[in-house]
Every structure is written in C-alpha cells, then in structure tokens.
C-alpha cells in the first residue's frame, strides 16, 4: 500500500536527457544536410558558369553529403546500452525481466543463458529474434517459445541473439535502452573476446552478484579486464537474492555491512573507478524475483503482494527502484557523452570546412574582379552579381553554421552538466 507512485514512471525519467539530446542533434544534422546540399547546388552553378570553382572543390563539398548522411544513419542507431554480468544463476535474466516488467527472457533451471542475448525495442508491436549472421526474423510469441528457439539453435557462447520486443510494452525500450544478458562469467575462458565483441560500447555494466555468497574471483577478474580496455567503466553491483536474508534476521545487518564493504572496496580500491563515497551509491541489495512478481501483479491490476511475501519486501522493492533511478541517470549521461560528443565534433568540422571553402571562393572572385576590371561591362556585371550572391550566401551560411555549431555545443554541454 505504500508503494511509491513514481513506480508508474512518467516522462520525467532521466532517460529523457538522452532521448531529447538525440532528437535535437538529429534536427541539427537535418539542417546541416540542407546547407551542404545548398552549397553543392550553388557551387555547381558557379562551376558551370565560369571557372570560379575547381572540380576538386566541388567534389570535396559534395563528399560531405555522404558524410552527413552517414552520421545521421549512425545517429539513428545510437542507443543506451547496459550489459549484465555475473555467475550463472545469480539472477541476471530475472533482473532484466524485472526492469522490463515482464517475463521476456527465459530464466531458471534448464534455461542457462548460453550466448549473449540482447533485448531491444521494435516498432509496429512486433516481437521476434534474429540470430548472429542471419537477417531472418523469427517470430516470438512467448517466453516458452523463445527458450525453445534458443535451445534449438547451435549457439556459440560469444554469439549474439537479438530479441526485439514491442517498444510500447516498456518505457525503457521505448527510450532506446538496450539490454544485454551474458552467459555466466564462470563458464567461459573467452573473456577477452566477450569484451571486444559486446562490451566496448556498453554505457553501463551491472554486476549481478549473489547476496548469499561473496564476490567471486571470476566475477572480479571480468571487471578487471573490462577496466583495462575501458577507462572508468560505469558499474553497478546488485546483491541479488537479498530476500534470502529474511530467513536469517540475526545476521542481516552484519552480512549486509560485509557485502557493502567488499563491494565498495572492489570498486574504489581495486578497480579505482569510483571514490569510496561514490562507490557506496553503486551497491544495492535487492530481490529481482520479488520485484518481477510484484510488477506482474500490478500490471494485472492486483496489489503488488498478497501478504505472503518474505519480511522486508517493501524495502527491497524500494531499493530496486532506487537502483533503477540511479541507473537511468548514469546511462543517459554516459550515452550522451560517448555517442553525441563525437557527432557534434564532426558536424562542427564539416561546417568549418565548408566555411573555409566558401571564403576561398569569395576571395578568388574578388581577385578576378579586380584583374578583369577592363573587360566588358557584361562580364563585370555578372561577376558583380556572383560576388554579391557569394557574399550574401557566405555570410548567411557562416551565420547559420556558426549558430548551429554553437547550439550543438551548448546543448551537449548542458546535457552533460545536467
Ligand atoms: P541467470 O543465470 O543469472 O540469468 O539467473 P536466472 O535469472 O535464470 O535465475 C536463476 C534462478 O534464480 C531462477 O530460478 C530465478 O527464479 C531465481 N532467482 C532470481 N532472482 C532471485 C531472487 O532475487 N531471489 C530468489 N529467491 N531467487 C531468485
């Protein structure tokens, strides 16, 4: 009865930082594309008329059309990626399902994830999967079917199966969050391959640990490897199965303090990715199973629990929500920075190059004009006209491009500082 209403999340989710930044930067690139097209058209007309513009110049400017197009393509596919790691059966799939508010990934006995599973949003309400190396959409209607489909494939543990789930069924998917579930870190010797293939573009890593045991060397090793390849990865540690502690209340505080201390020590002293104080904010004690059950109940319009749950359920449920909030803030900021900073640099570069070229052309017409002052009035007028046009256009382009570049920078730095 005391569940926070914020659990029914609205558009004030921190994920909107990313969503809005993506829209804005895309709009800016639409404008840049327009200006590049205009410039190309203008240069062509100059080239046809007189030899004011060289073929190389025209080609160079024209090549920006493809470049801008390429950036827009990448931009469209940019998303926020979170990857889950931990030993088999710690509850990775259950955590993802709890966050998605539905049993999407198969979990439990007989459903050991033996390859990488990526869950992402699909349009048009479709659900299907695509295995690595294929483009065939295999329809998926239910978890059972998905489990079955995954079993019948001969899948290598570093392979990726992409699961597309209707965007409108989950806000996180709608907002471009992509989830990656991994095989247990205890089953593979190929950590390097994993990291190169699936982790280098992850914005956030979640280590799903088992609150019933301590962090294992295999789990730690994985993150040691990650942090040699990525500077300061964003890591959250979920001590899952915390509901099990309810049966041993006499050790509860002691166990929690010990786990907390070791996790903080791991993040701050060993990996050196956070200060001890910041690391405190990255460690949570949760029960993914309870959270998933509660959310599925709520979705059916029933109370989140029927009173039969273990003691401390609400605290664990709040802690899960708290984790999600901090996770959302972290992932959207990280993704804006890693994805859009680069785009805005490239946009700025293109704008600068165009401006320079236009400046050079203007300069050239002015020289030509003074050299040819003696020629016929006709040509003189034509050149005058061209010069005027160029002046106008260059100034206009300069202003607009300048304005655009500043706008991108401002928005990116605002988003970053937010
Ligand atoms: P994975 O191999 O890490 O993906 O683990 P799964 O998500 O498949 O979970 C393994 C088993 O642990 C399943 O039977 C889950 O129902 C169970 N499980 C997951 N989370 C919890 C939890 O918080 N508490 C308890 N008691 N069981 C859990």
- Tell the residue nearest (CA) to atom 15 of ligand 1: 108
Tell me: pLDDT of 307 over 70.
Answer: no
187 band by pLDDT with thresholds 50, 70 and 90: confident
For the CA of 287, the nearest atom of ligand 1? 23
Mean pLDDT for the stretch of residues 186-190: 75
The rounded Å distance from CA 107 to ligand 1 centre is: 7
- Tell the residue nearest (CA) to atom 11 of ligand 1: 108
Token representation of residue 303: 């109370």
Tell me: pLDDT of 7 over 50.
Answer: no
- Tell the residue nearest (CA) to atom 25 of ligand 1: 241
Reported as type and span, the H/E element at residue 165 is: strand 160-166
Summarised one tens digit per residue, pLDDT across range 70-81 is 999 999 989 999
Q: What pLDDT does 379 receive?
A: 66
pLDDT: which is higher, 110 or 29 = 29
For the CA of 87, the nearest atom of ligand 1? 3
The rounded Å distance from CA 358 to ligand 1 centre is: 62
pLDDT: which is higher, 227 or 372 = 227
Mean pLDDT for the stretch of residues 297-307: 79
Summarised one tens digit per residue, pLDDT across range 218-263 is 899 999 999 999 988 999 999 999 998 877 778 888 999 999 999 9
- Tell the residue nearest (CA) to atom 9 of ligand 1: 91
Mean pLDDT for the stretch of residues 163-180: 93
The rounded Å distance from CA 95 to ligand 1 centre is: 8
Q: Which residues surround ligand 1 with Cβ inside 6 Å?
A: 86, 88-94, 107-108, 111-113, 240-241, 243-244, 287-289
Tell me: pLDDT of 399 over 80.
Answer: no
Q: Which of 164-173, 188-197, 316-325 has the lowest mean pLDDT?
A: 188-197
Q: What pLDDT does 375 receive?
A: 62
Summarised one tens digit per residue, pLDDT across range 199-209 is 989 999 999 99
- Eight-class DSSP state of 134: -
The rounded Å distance from CA 89 to ligand 1 centre is: 6
- Tell the residue nearest (CA) to atom 13 of ligand 1: 108
Tell me: pLDDT of 120 over 80.
Answer: yes
Residue-wise burial string across 359-380, b where 16 or more C-beta atoms lie within 10 A, e elsewhere? eebbebbeebbeeeeeeeeeee
Mean pLDDT of the chain: 85
Reported as type and span, the H/E element at residue 360 is: helix 341-371
Residue-wise burial string across 157-195, b where 16 or more C-beta atoms lie within 10 A, e elsewhere? bbbbbbbbbebebbbbbebbbbbbbbbbbeebeebeebb
Q: What pLDDT does 15 receive?
A: 93
The rounded Å distance from CA 298 to ligand 1 centre is: 20
Percentage with pLDDT > 90 across the chain: 39
Gap between the Cα atoms of 320 and 285, Å rounded: 8
**Of 51, 42, 49, 46, residue with least CA distance to 368:** 51
Angstrom distances, CA of residue 61 to CA of 29, 101, 116, 391: 16, 49, 42, 18
Gap between the Cα atoms of 318 and 374, Å rounded: 84
The rounded Å distance from CA 347 to ligand 1 centre is: 46
Mean pLDDT for the stretch of residues 368-396: 71
For the CA of 107, the nearest atom of ligand 1? 8
Tell me: pLDDT of 267 over 70.
Answer: yes
DSSP string, 266-310: IIIIIS-SS-HHHHHTTEEE--HHHHHHHHHHHHTTS-S--S-SP
Q: What pLDDT does 176 receive?
A: 94
For the CA of 244, the nearest atom of ligand 1? 26
What are the two backbone dihedrals, phi and then psi, of residue 160, each rounded to the nearest 5 degrees? -120, 125
Q: Dmax of the chain from CA atoms?
A: 102
For ligand 1, mutation pick of 88, 89, 91 (most atoms within 8 Å of CB): 91
ipTM of the modeled complex: 0.99
- Tell the residue nearest (CA) to atom 22 of ligand 1: 241
411 band by pLDDT with thresholds 50, 70 and 90: low
Mean pLDDT for the stretch of residues 304-329: 87
The rounded Å distance from CA 110 to ligand 1 centre is: 12
- Eight-class DSSP state of 200: T
The rounded Å distance from CA 108 to ligand 1 centre is: 6
152 band by pLDDT with thresholds 50, 70 and 90: low
- Tell the residue nearest (CA) to atom 24 of ligand 1: 241
Tell me: pLDDT of 148 over 90.
Answer: no
The rounded Å distance from CA 74 to ligand 1 centre is: 36
**Of 311, 318, 310, 327, residue with least CA distance to 285:** 318
Reported as type and span, the H/E element at residue 166 is: strand 160-166
4 band by pLDDT with thresholds 50, 70 and 90: very low
Please provide the distance, in angstroms rounded to a whole number, between the alpha carbons at the two ends of the chain: 33
- Tell the residue nearest (CA) to atom 19 of ligand 1: 91
3 band by pLDDT with thresholds 50, 70 and 90: very low
Gap between the Cα atoms of 61 and 37, Å rounded: 9
Q: Which of 6-10, 320-324, 364-368, 373-377 has the lowest mean pLDDT?
A: 6-10
Tell me: pLDDT of 144 over 80.
Answer: no
The rounded Å distance from CA 183 to ligand 1 centre is: 14
Helix, strand, coil in percent for the chain, rounding step 5: 60, 10, 30
């Amino acid at each position: 009865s005391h569940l926070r209403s914020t659990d029914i999340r609205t558009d004030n989710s921190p994920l909107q930082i990313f969503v809005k930044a993506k829209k804005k930067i895309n709009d800016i690139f639409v404008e840049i594309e327009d200006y590049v097209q205009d410039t190309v058209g203008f240069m062509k007309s100059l080239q046809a008329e007189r030899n004011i513009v060289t073929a190389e110049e025209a080609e160079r400017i024209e090549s920006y059309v493809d470049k801008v197009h390429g950036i827009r393509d990448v931009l469209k596919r940019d998303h926020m990626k979170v990857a889950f790691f931990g030993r088999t059966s710690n509850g990775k799939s259950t955590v993802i399902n709890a966050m998605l508010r539905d049993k999407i990934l198969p979990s439990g006995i007989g459903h050991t994830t033996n390859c990488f599973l990526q869950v992402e949003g699909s349009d048009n309400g479709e659900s299907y999967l695509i295995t690595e190396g294929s483009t065939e959409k295999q329809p998926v209607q239910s978890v059972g079917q998905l489990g079955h489909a995954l079993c019948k494939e001969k899948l290598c543990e570093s392979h990726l199966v992409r699961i597309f789930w209707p965007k409108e069924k989950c806000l996180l998917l709608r907002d471009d969050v992509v989830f990656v579930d991994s095989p247990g870190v205890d089953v593979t010797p190929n950590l390097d391959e994993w990291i190169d293939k699936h982790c280098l573009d992850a914005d956030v890593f979640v280590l799903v640990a088992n609150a019933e045991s301590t962090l294992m060397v295999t789990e730690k090793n994985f993150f040691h490897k990650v942090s040699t390849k990525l500077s300061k990865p964003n890591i959250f540690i979920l001590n899952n199965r915390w509901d099990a502690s309810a049966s041993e209340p006499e050790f509860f505080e002691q166990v929690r303090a010990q786990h907390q201390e070791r996790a903080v020590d791991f993040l701050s002293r060993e990996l050196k990715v956070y200060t001890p104080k910041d690391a405190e904010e990255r460690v949570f004690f949760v029960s993914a199973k309870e959270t998933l059950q509660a959310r599925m109940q709520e979705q059916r319009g029933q109370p989140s629990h029927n009173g039969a749950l273990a003691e401390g359920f609400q605290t664990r449920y709040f802690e899960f929500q708290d984790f999600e909030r901090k996770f959302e803030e972290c992932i959207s900021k990280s993704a804006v920075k890693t994805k859009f900073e680069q785009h805005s640099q490239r946009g700025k570069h293109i704008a600068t190059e165009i401006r320079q070229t236009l400046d050079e052309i203007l300069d050239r017409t002015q020289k030509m004009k003074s050299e040819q002052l003696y020629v016929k009035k006709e040509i003189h007028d034509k050149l005058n006209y061209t010069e005027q046009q160029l002046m106008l256009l260059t100034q206009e382009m300069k202003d607009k491009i300048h304005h655009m570049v500043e706008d991108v920078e401002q928005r990116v730095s605002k988003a970053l500082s937010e």
